[in-house]
Amino acid sequence: MTSATDSGASRVYLCGIGARWLPRVLGGAVLGAGLLAVARIGAQSTVPGARSFRGVLVVFVAIVALWIVRKGSEVRLRVRVDRDGLSFEHRGRSAGLAYADIDAVRYEAPFGASRAWLPAAILSDRREREWRLCALIDAGDRLLAEVVERSGRDDLAAWVEAQRIVEKMSRSAMRVRVGYALAAAITLAGVVQLFR
CATH number of 99-172: 2.40.50
Question: Average pLDDT, whole number, for the chain?
Answer: 88
More confident residue, 139 or 115: 139
**Mean local confidence (pLDDT), 168-188:** 95
What pLDDT, on a 0 to 100 scale, did the predictor assign at position 86? 94
- pLDDT tens digit sequence for 23-67: 999 999 999 999 988 887 765 565 666 677 788 889 999 999 999
What is the Cα–Cα distance from 29 to 184, expressed in whole angstroms? 7
Domain map (residue ranges) of the chain: 15-72+177-195, 99-172
Looking at the predicted structure, is the pLDDT value of residue 77 above 80?
A: yes
Three-state DSSP string of the chain: CCCCCCCCCCEEEEECHHHHHHHHHHHHHHHHHHHHHHHHHCCCCCCCCHHHHHHHHHHHHHHHHHHHHHHHHHHHCEEEECCCEEEEEECCEEEEEEHHHEEEEEEECCCCCCCCCCCEEEEEECCCCEEEEECCECCHHHHHHHHHHHHCCHHHHHHHHHCCHHHHHCCHHHHHHHHHHHHHHHHHHHHHHHHC
Output the pLDDT for position 2.
Answer: 41
Whether 192 has a pLDDT exceeding 60, the answer reads yes
2-16, 100-114, 141-155, 164-178: segment of lowest average pLDDT: 2-16
* 25 half-sphere exposure, CB direction, 13 A CA radius: 17
CA dihedral sign, ordered 63, 65, 66, 68: positive
pTM of the model: 0.82
Q: How confident is the model at residue 75 (pLDDT cuts 50, 70, 90)?
A: very high
Side-chain half-sphere of 125: how many Cα atoms within 13 Å?
A: 14
- Most confident region among 38-52, 106-120, 150-164, 178-192 by mean pLDDT: 178-192
Q: Name the percent of the chain lying above pLDDT 70.
A: 91
| Contact present, 65 and 96 (Cβ < 8 Å) | no
The residue type found at 185 is: A
Please give the pLDDT value at position 3. Answer: 38
Rounded to 10 degrees, the C-alpha dihedral 23/24/25/29 comes to 100
Residue 166 has pLDDT above 80, yes or no: yes
Q: What is Dmax (Cα atoms) for the chain? A: 71
The pLDDT tens digits of the residues spanning 87-134 come to: 999 888 999 999 999 988 999 998 877 788 999 999 999 888 999 999
- Per-residue pLDDT, averaged over 156-175, amounts to 92
